[in-house]
Chain A
Amino acid sequence: MEYRISNSGGNAKVVFNGDITFSENVSFRQLLKDISEQNFDACDFDLTGVNMVDSAGLGMFLIAREQAETDGWKLTVSGAQGHVASMLKLTKLSDLLEG
């Protein structure tokens, strides 16, 4: 998994590429640290480039959501397609996170 953070007026956009699975937990945690350090008002996870997400990846999304609530910024996801969109719908995360 690779990610790129862009800042637009206090709102961050994280563009992911690749799969989001357990093995990406270190990178994902680093991402959360980066976001927290930059004090964004909101952050959108752009999942257009993500082909696969497992339960660990979905769990990390929930951790990110918890951290957002703790730190006071809003987390949204967008661009999910195919398998990823189905998984978000199955777990009802689309209701929680899709803006």
Chain B
Amino acid sequence: MRESIEMENIMPTTSDVETQAPKVSEDSADSRSAVLSEALGRWLEMNHVIGRGFNTLDGEVDLVAKLVETSTNDLNSLFHRLVENAQKQSEGMGDIVRVASLVDVGGEMLTLPEIIVFLEEVFSEGIMNVLQLSQTAMTLVFALDDVVVDVKEVVKHIGEIEQINKQTNLLALNAKIEATRAGEAGKGFGVVADEVRQLSKDINHLAETLRSRVDAVHSGIDSGHEKLQSIASLDMSGNLKSKDRIENMMQALVTQNAEFQESLSLSAELSEKLRKDMSNVIMRFQFQDKAQQQLDGIRMTMSVLRDAAGALAEETGESSGLPPIEDDSELMEQWVDAVIKKCSLGEMRQRFVQGMLLKAEEASANAETVASGSSDEDDDDIEMFATGGDSGDGDATHASPSDQTETEDDDNIELF
């Protein structure tokens, strides 16, 4: 609503035109003819302005098409790089997942559970060795106990030998006494008695030696018994605690590793999903072709309308005998100003100023400069419009804008 009000303020209205037109007497044919000539002149001026506008719009459409094409290509390149990077990231994540689950042990790749099983086996083997050692030690203890019984039996037998030897010695002593008492007759018997006593002494000495040796054996057995006790008697509570702690640590490692792998797998999935999404985005960039076709359609439509209006203006000029438009009238400048005021984008407004306030040929040159690479078709269109609007000479006259026109244009630009 506000915009329409502004338009009413900016655009010259029919009533304005009527006010500016000379009053026509109802019954005066000359006055009617003058009014019609005035109206035709304004139509030709309007066509002139519209032609410049179409030229400028043609350049704008061309700019938009190139902007869309360039931006689409840039975005396409960017997304292709993003896809490549996402692919590398996904592959990197996969490598991390694989490496994180394996440990290089001298060239042998082992999983964490395998290492845990191995450590548990080693630990259990150590425990079993301790147990085996204890069993062997206890078997030896039992055997030594049996030896101790035997040794005690030997000691007992040595005591019996000593007792017998003691009695033998007494018997030999008695025999010696009796032999002495018998005199010469008992002399030989006395020698025997002496020998028996000597034997008894030797046996006694041997028994003492045996007792000493057996005591040494007994002492050795006792010593071995103590050593075996130190070997067999091992409080394995420490091992038990160590095993529990190792198991807990290994379990924590396995859990942590599993969580780590899960997170990495999730990240890898997200990277892959990102890559696919970006590939879809690249496919969607095909909209640029359709946009280009639509812009071509717009340009074609504008060209047809511009040609039709130009042909009609040419026909009107020839039939009415009106002089060619040589300079921009005040009304034309108002129309142009109205259009330029509506351009909110400064850059675009500048192009409209150059395209619509200057003569058509200059506008064409500006359009070519701005929309670098304007086609020959554009030039042809401008020439057609120029011919249609009026004679080429007329445009050539307009090609040298008066200082006054320049000043007015500058004022308009500053106003905007």
Q: Which of A43-88 contact B (CB under 8 A)?
A: 54-56, 58-60, 62-63, 83, 86-87
Size of chain A's interface in residues, with CB distance under 8 A?
Answer: 20
> Which residues in B have their C-beta under 8 angstroms from that of A56?
134, 137-138, 229, 232-234
Find the residue from A21, A22, A59, A90 having the highest chain B CB count within 10 A: A59
Known: A22-B229, A91-B128. A59 touches B134 (CB 8 A): yes
> Which residues in B have their C-beta under 8 angstroms from that of A22?
138, 141, 229, 232-233
Do B124 and A92 touch across chains, with their CB atoms under 8 A apart?
yes
Do B124 and A55 touch across chains, with their CB atoms under 8 A apart?
no
Do A63 and B237 touch across chains, with their CB atoms under 8 A apart?
no
- Measured in the bound complex, the distance between the Cα atoms of B233 and A22 in whole Å is 6
Known: A54-B234, A55-B232. A87 touches B240 (CB 8 A): yes
- Measured in the bound complex, the distance between the Cα atoms of B128 and A22 in whole Å is 18
- Measured in the bound complex, the distance between the Cα atoms of B135 and A56 in whole Å is 7
Q: Closest CB of chain A to B248's CB: distance in Å? A: 14
Contact partner of A21 (CB less than 8 A), chosen from B132, B135, B137, B233, is: B233
- Measured in the bound complex, the distance between the Cα atoms of B394 and A98 in whole Å is 120
> Which residues in A have their C-beta under 8 angstroms from that of B139?
63
CB nearest to B241 among chain A residues: A86
- Measured in the bound complex, the distance between the Cα atoms of B131 and A87 in whole Å is 11
Contact partner of A54 (CB less than 8 A), chosen from B132, B135, B233, B243, is: B233
> Which residues in A have their C-beta under 8 angstroms from that of B240?
83, 86-87, 90
Do A90 and B134 touch across chains, with their CB atoms under 8 A apart?
no
Tell me, yes or no, whether B239 is within 8 Å of chain A by CB: yes
B interface footprint on A3-29 (CB within 8 Å = 1, 0 otherwise): 000000000000000000110011001
Do B138 and A83 touch across chains, with their CB atoms under 8 A apart?
no
> Which residues in B have their C-beta under 8 angstroms from that of A83?
237, 240
Known: A55-B130, A55-B131, A91-B127. A60 touches B236 (CB 8 A): no
Do A59 and B131 touch across chains, with their CB atoms under 8 A apart?
yes
- Measured in the bound complex, the distance between the Cα atoms of B134 and A64 in whole Å is 13
> Which residues in A have their C-beta under 8 angstroms from that of B233?
21-22, 54-56
> Which residues in B have their C-beta under 8 angstroms from that of A92?
124, 128
Tell me, yes or no, whether B118 is within 8 Å of chain A by CB: no
- Measured in the bound complex, the distance between the Cα atoms of B243 and A90 in whole Å is 8
Tell me, yes or no, whether B235 is within 8 Å of chain A by CB: yes
Find the residue from B124, B138, B139 having the highest chain A CB count within 10 A: B138
> Which residues in A have their C-beta under 8 angstroms from that of B84?
none
> Which residues in B have their C-beta under 8 angstroms from that of A54?
233-236
Find the residue from A22, A58, A87, A92 having the highest chain B CB count within 10 A: A22
- Measured in the bound complex, the distance between the Cα atoms of B136 and A25 in whole Å is 13
Do A25 and B141 touch across chains, with their CB atoms under 8 A apart?
yes
Do B145 and A29 touch across chains, with their CB atoms under 8 A apart?
yes
> Which residues in A have their C-beta under 8 angstroms from that of B133?
55, 59
> Which residues in B have their C-beta under 8 angstroms from that of A87?
236, 240
Tell me, yes or no, whether B142 is within 8 Å of chain A by CB: yes
- Measured in the bound complex, the distance between the Cα atoms of B145 and A63 in whole Å is 15
- Measured in the bound complex, the distance between the Cα atoms of B131 and A60 in whole Å is 10
Do A59 and B124 touch across chains, with their CB atoms under 8 A apart?
no
> Which residues in B have their C-beta under 8 angstroms from that of A93?
131
Q: Closest CB of chain B to A96's CB: distance in Å? A: 11
> Which residues in B have their C-beta under 8 angstroms from that of A58?
131, 134-135, 236
Q: A54-B233, A60-B138, A91-B127 are in contact. List 20 more A-B contacts (CB 8 A).
A: A22-B232, A25-B141, A29-B145, A55-B130, A55-B133, A55-B232, A55-B234, A56-B134, A56-B137, A56-B138, A56-B232, A56-B233, A62-B134, A63-B135, A86-B240, A87-B236, A87-B240, A90-B236, A90-B239, A91-B236
